Amino acid sequence: MAVHLRNISKRFGHLVANDRVDLDIRSGEVLALLGENGAGKSTLMKILYGFYQADAGTITLDDRPVTIDSPQTAMGLGIGMVFQQFSLIENLTVAENLLLASAQAPRWQWGDRQTWVKANSCLKTLGPSIHPQTLVRDLSIGEKQLLELVKVLDAQARVVILDEPTSVLTPLETQQFWQLVRQLAEQGHAVVLITHKLADVFACADHIAVMRKGQVVDVSSAKARTTADLVHLMMGEAVSSTLTVISPPTATPKLELCNLSAGSSLALKNIQLTLSPGEILGVAGVAGNGQSILAEALAGTLPLTQGEVRLNGQVLHRVGQPSPISPDLAYIPEQPLQNGVAADQDLVTNLVVKDLPRMAFFPNRKAQRSRSLRLLQAFNVQPPDPDRPAMQLSGGNLQKLVIARELSGDPQLIIACYPTMGLDISAAEFVYEQIFHHARAGACVIWISEDIDDLLQYAHRVAVLFRGEIIGLAETANVSRQQLGQWMTAGRAA
């Protein structure tokens, strides 16, 4: 299948998301679509998928003009998309999610054997270790990503659009995903890979299209471009890192995790840690080993079953004790659309929500809006429209919205789960600098990430979680990437 987009334009109010874009997508190839946050990548692909309709321009499939007015129409034409935010039903099984996504499945009739055999065949090929009767909520992030892809391929998609597919995958899962992407292309699929990670591009792309400010500024063979070339094309200028992290002073512990347990019996067990003022603790581990449970327990959104959390000598969370919103705590969750924002509320509301306990009965809405606009501009949230519902932001800008709210105060404890997920190079550098700024001011940072290289470069210590327990803990100066990999796989060679 050959897809040709010509003169595609799309506006959202005064914002020009796509400006007369031309793009070609071909069967048997992987096209990497690059650009900084707000460049128009996801909008363009959502137009191809029928999620948005273009204001101008045409789309042709195999030289045949088509009108794609909905995702259902796109899927009927053989176009599928895996979004950065999953669309799975957590309380249903893998099999039930696949059947719900199948156009041939009778509604609520799980016994249709022919439909299930077809769906299960694709699951066995791509995810042989995933049991059909497993509840989706019990899958790792990598397995959920794979399940979303199975849904798309089960619908006979010939064009597969992948939006930031490796953003929260472990290094091993990422390498496996690269192989899968190459296999899809070799089988004749046309694959579009929306990504900020240049490693993704050089691992599996045949061609690269770079977008900036709503326009395609370069299309080339992947072999013809270097990392420096792509950074310059995306940003318009070279990006140099000026990040600095200072060693925390030896002092009375600021944060104490005292025999902490939370969730089910296998979720999080007997966590014992202390952090000094200004210390950055990296937390690594294969997805699904208790990282999200630890973050939610520290943030107070998940009740403890044992132990307590102390900050500056005072109890922050304890078994049986409600956890009110604290200005001393900043929490950047793993999936902000699900548990970090009120999606249907405007950006002002989302930026001031932490002030609710101290807010006047009749708040000064003008002052709130003015402060929100300053935050949107400072953190480069695009578009910086305070009245826009949060659900209308792209994944990367949604991440920046949450970070703007959480890091704009004077937090004493920062819990950051994959804080640069979906962010471009300059945005990621900016977020790191904001986190490190608070650390230099004395805040403790719990930084959960799958990016081992960044943890080794910037964290003071790294703890590895396995089956809800800390299996390894070391200063970054005294541990290797290989050792962390061995701990992540419970002592087996990485």
Q: Amino acid identity, residue 319? A: V
pLDDT band at 494 (very low <50, low <70, confident <90, very high): very low
Position 458 scores a pLDDT of 92
pLDDT band at 112 (very low <50, low <70, confident <90, very high): low
Buried b (16+ CB within 10 A) or exposed e, 187-226: eebbbbbbbbbbebbbbbbbbbbbbbebbbebeeebeebe
For residue range 286-337, list pLDDT tens digits in order.
Answer: 767 888 899 999 999 899 999 999 999 999 999 988 777 788 999 999 877 7
Distance, in Å, from the CA atom of 348 to the CA atom of 376, rounded to the nearest integer, reads 10
Residue pair 30/223 in contact (Cβ under 8 Å)? The answer is: no
CA distances 493 to 321, 482, 484, Å, are: 42, 8, 10
DSSP string, 408-470: SS--SEEEEESTTTT--HHHHHHHHHHHHHHHHTT-EEEEE-S-HHHHHHH-SEEEEEETTEE
* Residue-range domains of the chain with CATH: 2-235 (3.40.50.300), 255-488 (3.40.50.300)
Residue 420 CB: number of other CB atoms within 10 A? 24
Distance, in Å, from the CA atom of 430 to the CA atom of 269, rounded to the nearest integer, reads 34
Q: Mean pLDDT over all residues of the chain?
A: 86
Residue % of the chain over a pLDDT of 90? 47
Residue pair 428/453 in contact (Cβ under 8 Å)? The answer is: no
For residue range 22-56, list pLDDT tens digits in order.
Answer: 999 999 999 999 987 778 898 999 999 999 999 99
Strand order in the sheet with 215-221: 79-82, 159-163, 190-194, 30-34, 207-212, 215-221
239, pLDDT greater than 60:
no
**Mean pLDDT, range 88-94, rounded to an integer:** 89
**Mean pLDDT, range 253-257, rounded to an integer:** 93
Strand order in the sheet with 56-61: 15-26, 2-12, 56-61, 64-66
Q: Amino acid identity, residue 139? A: L
Position 190 scores a pLDDT of 96
Residue pair 68/93 in contact (Cβ under 8 Å)? The answer is: no
Distance, in Å, from the CA atom of 438 to the CA atom of 418, rounded to the nearest integer, reads 17
pLDDT band at 104 (very low <50, low <70, confident <90, very high): low
The residue among 377 and 117 whose pLDDT is bigger is 377
What is the SS3 assignment for 341-359?
CCCCCEHHHHHHHHHHHHC
204, pLDDT greater than 90:
yes
The secondary structure of residue 391, as a DSSP letter, is: G
493, pLDDT greater than 50:
no
Position 111 scores a pLDDT of 52
Position 38 scores a pLDDT of 75
Distance, in Å, from the CA atom of 280 to the CA atom of 295, rounded to the nearest integer, reads 14
- Identify which of 104, 127, 126, 123 has the alpha carbon closest to the alpha carbon of residue 115: 104
Token readout for 258 is 């005292």
For residue range 341-368, list pLDDT tens digits in order.
Answer: 888 899 999 998 887 767 777 888 888 9
**Mean pLDDT, range 177-183, rounded to an integer:** 90
In sequence order, which ranges of 3-154 are alpha helices (DSSP H)? 41-48, 71-76, 94-101, 113-126, 141-154
Position 406 scores a pLDDT of 94
**What pTM, to 2 d.p., does this model score?**
0.67
By three-state DSSP, how is residue 189 classified? coil
- Identify which of 138, 122, 3 has the alpha carbon closest to the alpha carbon of residue 65: 3
80, pLDDT greater than 60:
yes
CA distances 466 to 17, 76, 223, 269, 486, Å, are: 43, 43, 39, 10, 11
